Amino acid sequence: MQRFLFLFLLLSRAAMSQTPDSVATSAIPPKSNSKFGIVSSISFAVATTSTPNLRSYFRANQIKPAPSFGQFAHWNGGFRYKRLKFMSQGGRGLDLTLSEAHYGNKREAQLNHADYVGTMLGYDVLNGRNRRIYLNVGSGTILYKYSVYRFTLQHVDWQDLTQYNQPGNIPSLRLTNRYLDFNVEFVQREKRKRSAEYLLRAGYRRGLRPKAWQSDAFVLQGAPTDRISQFYLQLGYNFSLNFDRVKDL
C-alpha cells in the first residue's frame, strides 16, 4: 500500500508542476503564410539544346558543330497570390566566346547569340512548413544565332577588310521559335515580410512548330527547319516582399 501511495504522490507532483498551456504549446514554430507576395529571382542555368537538322547540315559539309551544352543567366519577376504564382522570365546565353582556333581548312560553327523571354504560371503542389514545390507551365520566344568560320593564317590588309570574302564562311544563321515550357521548382518558403531563399528548377522547353533557319546577310532558300528543344537546370535565389498574413492557404 505504501508503494502505491508513493507512486501516486510522484505522479501528482509532476502534473501539478506542469504549466496550464504546456500541452497546447508546440516546440515547432507555426508555418509562415502570406496571402500576397511580389517575387523576383536571379539564377544560373545549364542547358542542353537540340537543333538536329542544322547539326546534320554541318556534319554533311564537314563543319564542326557548336557544343549543344550551354550556360544562361536567368531572371524572373512577378507576383504570388496564395498558392498561385505568375512570373515573367528571361535568359541570356553566356557561352558566346570563340573556341580555340584550329588553323587550316577545318571550319567550325560558333554560337553568337542565345536568349529567351516569356511568361510562366505556377501552382505549389507541396505547401510545407519550410518549402514549396511548384509545377510551372510557360510560353515565350527563344532565339539562337550561329556563324561558321574557317581559321587561317592568311594576311588581309585592314583597308581591304570590307571587300574580303573568304569561301566557306557563313556570317549568320538564326532561328526564332515560340516555345512551351514545363518545369518543377523547389524553393524555400518565405519567412518574413522581406525574404530571400534559394531555388532549384528543372524543366523542358519545346518549340511549337518547325521553322526555317534564316540569315542576317542573305535571303535563304531551301534552308533546313528545326524546332528547338532544351532541357535545363537552374540554381539561384528568390527574393520576395510579402503581405497580408493568413492562417491557412
pTM: 0.79
pLDDT in tens, the chain (249 residues): 555 455 555 555 444 444 444 444 444 455 667 888 999 999 999 999 999 999 999 999 989 898 899 999 999 999 999 889 999 999 999 865 545 555 556 788 988 889 999 999 999 998 887 889 999 999 999 999 999 988 777 788 888 888 887 777 888 999 999 999 999 999 988 888 898 999 999 999 999 999 999 998 888 899 999 999 999 999 999 999 988 765 544
Provide the CB-side half-sphere exposure for 106 (13 A, CA): 10
- Nearest C-alpha neighbor of 178 from the set 143, 230, 212, 133: 143
Provide the CB-side half-sphere exposure for 151 (13 A, CA): 10
Name 131's bridge partners: 188
- List the helix and strand counts (H, then E) for the chain: 2, 11
| Structural domains of the chain, with CATH | 31-243 (2.40.160.20)
SS3 state of residue 199: strand
The C-alpha atoms of residue 118 and residue 89 are separated, in whole angstroms, by 5
User: Amino acid identity of 217?
Assistant: A
Q: What is the pLDDT at residue 15?
A: 44
The C-alpha atoms of residue 213 and residue 41 are separated, in whole angstroms, by 33
Give the list of residues 6+ apart from residue 241 with CB closer than 8 angstroms, or none: 37, 38, 193, 194
SS3 state of residue 17: helix
Q: What is the pLDDT at residue 23?
A: 47
